[in-house]
Homo-oligomer: A and B are copies of this chain.
Amino acid sequence: MTEAQARKPAVGSWQWGRTAQTQRALLDAAREVFTRQGFADASIADVVERAQSSVGSLYHHFGGKSELFIALWQEHQAAYEEAASAAVAAAKRAGVSDPAELFAAGARAYLDGAWQRRDLAMLFSAGDGPPGFELMKRHRGHGWIRQNDALLRLADTSLDRLYAAVLTSVIGEGAREVAAARTRAQADEIIDAVIEYARRLMAEGPARTHR
């Protein structure tokens, strides 16, 4: 067998997806361990034990505990964003064109994801993560608004950034409450209320200075 074949085994060989499988096992174990104990209290040993893997493998594939945590978060984010942009696209197809309504459609999908993956939603909003994680979240939040809401043609003034930050934080706080809900029905009530608050904020657009 040549070296090239060894590195990239033929489809159908028993090794197919070995890397993917290991990474998946580690991510799944990380989800269970981190959501149960939080980031700080979880040790690498806990994760690899549950994944039936090894410390070396974890470092090989992810580079460390922090990076594993962040990889888990990125998966979660990808799921959020996929759902949100699909919802926005569907609304557009259905003829919705009002920016606030499109935003509401995306936000609703986002909040729905918070319920469906409430363990992760609570983990990532608990404020327990690797150094710099809060900053990463903040950047992502701003990007999310700017993406879903390029419609609102926000400028880069401090007042427009405030508007985006306030909307983001309301949706984020809503997601936290949704994730903490005890039943699906209660979560739905909360989702409706959050959308209502977002509408109130958007009804008159960004606040303008009157001085």
A interface residues (Cβ-Cβ under 8 A, vs B): 40-41, 126-128, 131, 133-135, 158-159, 161-163, 165-166, 168-170, 172-174, 176-177, 181, 186, 188-190, 192-194, 196-197, 200-201, 203-204, 206-207, 209-211
Contacts and interface: CB of A to CB of B under 8 A. Distances in A.
25 contacts: A40-B131, A126-B135, A158-B186, A158-B189, A158-B190, A159-B190, A159-B193, A162-B177, A162-B193, A162-B194, A165-B176, A166-B170, A166-B197, A168-B173, A169-B169, A169-B170, A169-B173, A188-B211, A189-B209, A192-B210, A192-B211, A193-B209, A196-B207, A197-B201, A201-B201
Chain copies in the assembled complex: 2
A211 B185 CA distance: 10
- Of A40, A126, A201, A207, most B-chain CB atoms within 10 Å: A207
A177 B189 contact: no
Interface of A is mostly: helix
